[in-house]
Amino acid sequence: MTKEEAVEKLEEIATLLDLRGENPFKSRAYRTAARALDSLSEDFDTFVREGKLEGVKGIGEGIRAKLQELVATGHLSYLEELKGSFPAGVVAFLDIPGLGPKKAKILWEKLGIRDLAGLESACRSHRVGKLPGFGSKTEENILSGIEQRRSYAAYHRYGDLIGLAEQLVEELRAHPEVVRVSMGGSFRRGKEIVRDLDLVCSSPKPAAVMEGFVSATGVRRVVNHGETKSSVVLEGGLACDLRVVPDEDYPYALLHFTGSKEHNIALRQRAIAQGKKLSEWGLFREARIRFSEGSEDAAAQEKESGERIRCRDEAEIYENLGLAYIPPELRENLGEIEAAESNQIPRLLEWTDLRGTFHCHTTASDGHSTLVAMAEAAQALGLEYLGIADHSKSSFQANGLDEERVACQQEEIRKLNGTFRGFRLLSGTECDILRDGRLDFSDSLLASLDYVVASVHAGFSTSEEEMTRRIIRAMENPYVTMLGHPTGRLLLMRKPYPVNLEKIIDCAAETGTWIELNAQPLRLDLDWRWWHAARDKGVRCVINPDAHHTRELGFVRIGVNIARKGWLRREDVINTLTLKLVERALRNKRGGGG
DNA sequence: GCCGTTTTCGGCCCGACTGTTTTCAGTCG
C-alpha cells in the first residue's frame, strides 16, 4: 500500500460522504487527514505498521484505525460500504461545473439518474428543471458542462503525458532491432494540449519492432497493426501511433511526423521553389522528363523519379533547403522559416540555465510540504535560490496568511538562511489582487518582503475592461514584482478570465513588472503564443512552478519547454540570473528601474 | 471526524456569485 493510494482512498471517502449529505466537517476531516498523510516523507507502509500515525496532526483515532486496516488487509470496509450506497456514475456529476454534492444527490434520489448519459437525457426532456432548486438555466448549464467534458476527453495535457512519453521512447530504444527513435507530433513540438502521441523509429526489422509495440504492457486496444505503421489505444484512452522506417528514411519521416502541417507545407513550397521535392520519404532533386539523346521517339522518353538528397538527420534536411536548424518547438510556421533563412533562430532557453525560482507554497497556506522540505528539495535540484510565496489572507480557502503569520514566516526564513551555504530562501507572498485592483496587504508590509507575486484568485466573472483595469492597477504598485498566472486558465477545465493581454503586456513593459510563466501543467499561463511579442517589448519572463509539494518543483522543466515554444532565450528569463544578480534585479524593480 | 490556555462538547474558513427564489441554498475559490 503506497501513500498515494491511501491518500486517494481518504479523498474518495470524503467525496462520498459529501454525496451522502453527511456533516460537512466530517468529510473535511477526511480531506485534512489525506493532506496530512500526503505531506509525510517517511515510507507510508512502515510508518503505519510501526504505529507512528499517533501524533500526526489531523489524523485521529477513527481515521488511524482505517489506515491500519488498509495497510493490514489492503481493503477499507468503510469505503466499500460507502461505495455500495451510490451508483459509481453519480460521482462524475461533481465534475460538471455548478453541480455539487447536494444537487448530485437530488438528481440520483428524485429522478433515479445513475450516470452522465441519464443526466443528459433528463435535461433534454426538461425533467431536471422541474425539481425544486433547479431551473431551465441549470439544465442549460449541465448540458453545456457535459458537452465540454465530452469534447475535452479527446485531449490531454502536455505536462500529464511527459512521463508516459519518455517511458514509451525508452522501451522502444531498448528493443534490439531499433536504431533510432523519437517522439514526433505536437508532443515533440511542446504543444500544451495534445490529442495523441506519435512515435517514429528506424529499424532493419520493422515487423519485430511492431510486434513488441502492440503487445506492450499498457496497450488496451490495437486499432491498426501493420508492418510499418500501427495505432493503439493506451490505458487511459490515449491514442498512440508508431511509424517504423528503414534508417536512411528516418530523418525525413521524423520531420514529416513532427509537423506542424503548416510548417511542412511551407518547407515543401520552399523545396519546390528550389527545384526540389520534400515528402515523408525524402528530399529529392526535381523529377524531370529526360529525352534520350538523338531520339524524338516518345517511347524513348525515360521518366526519372528524381534523385534523393542524402540527409543523415533533420539538420541536414534544413541545411539542404538553405535553412538553419529549426528546433521542434518553433515549427508552427510563425516566422521560424524566415528566421532560419537569415540565421536568426535564437539559442533557446535550456532547463539547465535556471538558477532559482519564485512562487512556491508551503504548509503555511495550502502547500503539502514544509518550508524546510521545500528548501532541501530546491537545493537537491541544484537551485541557488527559492522564493516562498504563500497565499495572502483573502484566499481563505487556501488558508492564506495574515500580516502576523507573514511576519512569522519571514523570521523563520531569516533563521533558516543563516544555516545555508550557497543557497538562499527569498520571502515573498502571492498577494491577492482584490476586486478593485487594490492588493491584499499594505505597501509597508509588501515592502518588508523580498518580492511580491500578485495574482487574481476570485471574481472571474467580470468584463474584460474591468479585469484589465484591475490587474493594471495592481501592476502599477511598485512593490508588485511579478504578475502571477495572468489569465487564470486551467487547461481542459476552465477558460481564461476575460482580460486584454496586449494592455497587460504594455503595462508590464512600462512598469518593469515581470510576467510569470506558471509551469503548473494545468496552467502553463501565460500562454506561449504571447511570449515572442512580449519579449520584443522588453517584458521579462519568470518561470515558476507554483509548487504545492516538493515533487512539483520539477514543473519548471515543463515551463522551460513552453518558454522555448515562445522563442525565449536565457536573457529573457529572470530566473536564469545568479542569486547576486537576481537580488539586484529585485532592488532595481522597487527603485522604479527595469 | 478532529481538536483542545474555550479540554470531552461545540466549534470547525469566509465571502461572492448564480440561479433560484421572494430571503436563500448551493457552489466555488
Whether residue A591 has pLDDT greater than 60? yes
Residue A517 CA distance to nucleotide B18 C1' (Å): 32
Report the sign of the C-alpha dihedral through residues A91, A96, A101, A104, in that order.
Answer: negative
Q: How many whole angstroms separate alpha carbon A560 and alpha carbon A348? A: 9
Q: How many whole angstroms separate alpha carbon A173 and alpha carbon A550? A: 30
Residue A145 CA distance to nucleotide B18 C1' (Å): 15
Please report, as a single letter, which amino acid is at residue A408.
C
Residue A359 CA distance to nucleotide B16 C1' (Å): 26
Per-residue 3-state assignment (H helix, E strand, C coil) for A129-150 = HHCCCCCHHHHHHHHHHHHHHH
pLDDT (0 to 100) of residue A299: 40
- Secondary structure of chain A: what % helix, strand, coil (to 5)? 50, 15, 35
pLDDT (0 to 100) of residue A287: 56
Q: How many whole angstroms separate alpha carbon A414 and alpha carbon A407? A: 10
Whether residue A383 has pLDDT greater than 70? yes
Q: How many whole angstroms separate alpha carbon A235 and alpha carbon A230? A: 16
pLDDT (0 to 100) of residue A294: 44
Please report, as a single letter, which amino acid is at residue A574.
I
Q: Residue A516: phi, psi to the nearest 5?
A: -80, 140
Whether residue A368 has pLDDT greater than 90? no
Whether residue A314 has pLDDT greater than 50? yes
Residue A136 CA distance to nucleotide B19 C1' (Å): 9
Q: How many whole angstroms separate alpha carbon A291 and alpha carbon A289? A: 7
Nearest nucleotide, CA A137 to C1': B19
Residue A64 CA distance to nucleotide B1 C1' (Å): 11
Which residue is the nearest neighbor of B18, CA to C1'? A98
In DSSP notation, A196-236 reads: EEEEEEE-S-HHHHHHHHHTSTTEEEEEEE-SSEEEEEETT
Q: How many whole angstroms separate alpha carbon A3 and alpha carbon A306? A: 61
In DSSP terms, A276 is beta-bridged to A285
Q: Where do we find the cell 537545493? A: A379
pLDDT (0 to 100) of residue A586: 96
Question: Domains in chain A and their CATH numbers?
Answer: 3-152 (1.10.150.110), 156-245 (3.30.460.10), 272-341 (3.30.210.10), 351-590 (3.20.20.140)
User: pLDDT, tens digit, for every residue of A224-240?
Assistant: 888 888 888 887 778 89
Residue A127 CA distance to nucleotide B25 C1' (Å): 20
Which residue is the nearest neighbor of B24, CA to C1'? A133
Nearest nucleotide, CA A28 to C1': B1
Cβ atoms of A93 and A107 within 8 Å: the answer is yes
pLDDT band at A221 (very low <50, low <70, confident <90, very high): confident
Q: How many whole angstroms separate alpha carbon A105 and alpha carbon A251? A: 56
Whether residue A23 has pLDDT greater than 50? yes
pLDDT band at A301 (very low <50, low <70, confident <90, very high): very low
Nearest nucleotide, CA A140 to C1': B19
Which residue is the nearest neighbor of B21, CA to C1'? A133
Cβ atoms of A154 and A176 within 8 Å: the answer is no
Chain B bases having any atom below 7 Å from a protein CB: 1-4, 11-21, 25-29
Nearest nucleotide, CA A104 to C1': B26
Whether residue A445 has pLDDT greater than 50? yes
Whether residue A583 has pLDDT greater than 50? yes
Per-residue 3-state assignment (H helix, E strand, C coil) for A321-361 = CCCCCCCHHHCCCCCHHHHHHCCCCCCECCHHHCCEECCEC
Whether residue A409 has pLDDT greater than 60? yes
DSSP state for residue A288 in the 8-state scheme = -
Burial class (CB in 10 A: 0-12, 13-18, 19+), A418: exposed
- A131-135, A187-191, A194-198, A222-226: the lowest-pLDDT one: A222-226
- Mean pLDDT across the stretch A508-521? 96
Residue A392 CA distance to nucleotide B17 C1' (Å): 21
pLDDT (0 to 100) of residue A343: 95
Residue A299 CA distance to nucleotide B18 C1' (Å): 80
Q: How many whole angstroms separate alpha carbon A441 and alpha carbon A402? A: 9
- Mean pLDDT across the stretch A245-273? 92
Report which of A480, A476, A472 is spatially closest to residue A441, judged by C-alpha positions: A480
Burial A530-552 (b: 16+ CB within 10 A, else e): bbbebbeeebbbbbbbbbbbbeb
**Average pLDDT taken over every residue of chain A:** 89
DSSP state for residue A569 in the 8-state scheme = B
Please report, as a single letter, which amino acid is at residue A307.
E
- Mean pLDDT across the stretch A243-250? 93
In DSSP notation, A480-531 reads: --EE-STT--BTTTBPPPP--HHHHHHHHHHHT-EEEEE--TTT-BS-GGGH
Q: How many whole angstroms separate alpha carbon A576 and alpha carbon A594? A: 16
pLDDT band at A95 (very low <50, low <70, confident <90, very high): confident
Residue A57 CA distance to nucleotide B4 C1' (Å): 13
Which residue is the nearest neighbor of B28, CA to C1'? A98
Nearest nucleotide, CA A26 to C1': B1
Instruction: Give, rounded to a whole angstrom, the gap between the first and last alpha carbons of chain A.
Output: 52
Residue A130 CA distance to nucleotide B22 C1' (Å): 19
Nearest nucleotide, CA A63 to C1': B1
Cβ atoms of A430 and A392 within 8 Å: the answer is yes
Cell numbers describing residue A235: 490505458
pLDDT (0 to 100) of residue A297: 44
CA distances, A323 to each of A270, A328, A539, A552 (Å): 10, 14, 29, 38
Q: How many whole angstroms separate alpha carbon A22 and alpha carbon A100? A: 14
Which residue is the nearest neighbor of B11, CA to C1'? A25
User: pLDDT, tens digit, for every residue of A464-498?
Assistant: 888 999 999 999 999 999 999 999 998 888 888 88
Residue A104 CA distance to nucleotide B12 C1' (Å): 24
Cβ atoms of A20 and A106 within 8 Å: the answer is no
Q: How many whole angstroms separate alpha carbon A317 and alpha carbon A256? A: 11
Residue A18 CA distance to nucleotide B10 C1' (Å): 21
Q: How many CB atoms lie within 10 A of CB A382?
A: 11
Cell numbers describing residue A461: 466573472
Nearest nucleotide, CA A27 to C1': B1
Cell numbers describing residue A42: 517517511
Q: Work out the percent of chain A whose per-residue pLDDT is above 90.
A: 62
More reliable by pLDDT, A208 or A151: A208
Q: Where do we find the cell 519571514? A: A410
Highest mean pLDDT among A40-44, A179-183, A287-291, A362-366: A179-183
Nearest nucleotide, CA A136 to C1': B19
Nearest nucleotide, CA A94 to C1': B27
In DSSP terms, A569 is beta-bridged to A348
pLDDT band at A306 (very low <50, low <70, confident <90, very high): confident
CB under 8 Å to A251, separation ≥6 — which residues?
A: A311, A312, A313, A314, A316, A317
Q: How many whole angstroms separate alpha carbon A528 and alpha carbon A51? A: 49
Residue A399 CA distance to nucleotide B10 C1' (Å): 22
Nearest nucleotide, CA A98 to C1': B27
Q: How many whole angstroms separate alpha carbon A515 and alpha carbon A531? A: 10
Q: Residue A583: phi, psi to the nearest 5?
A: -65, -40
Which residue is the nearest neighbor of B16, CA to C1'? A459
Which residue is the nearest neighbor of B3, CA to C1'? A58
Nearest nucleotide, CA A462 to C1': B17
Cell numbers describing residue A11: 479523498
pLDDT (0 to 100) of residue A179: 94
Residue A394 CA distance to nucleotide B15 C1' (Å): 9
CA distances, A16 to each of A80, A348, A440 (Å): 11, 48, 35
3-state secondary structure of A255: helix
DSSP state for residue A433 in the 8-state scheme = B
Cell numbers describing residue A167: 517511458
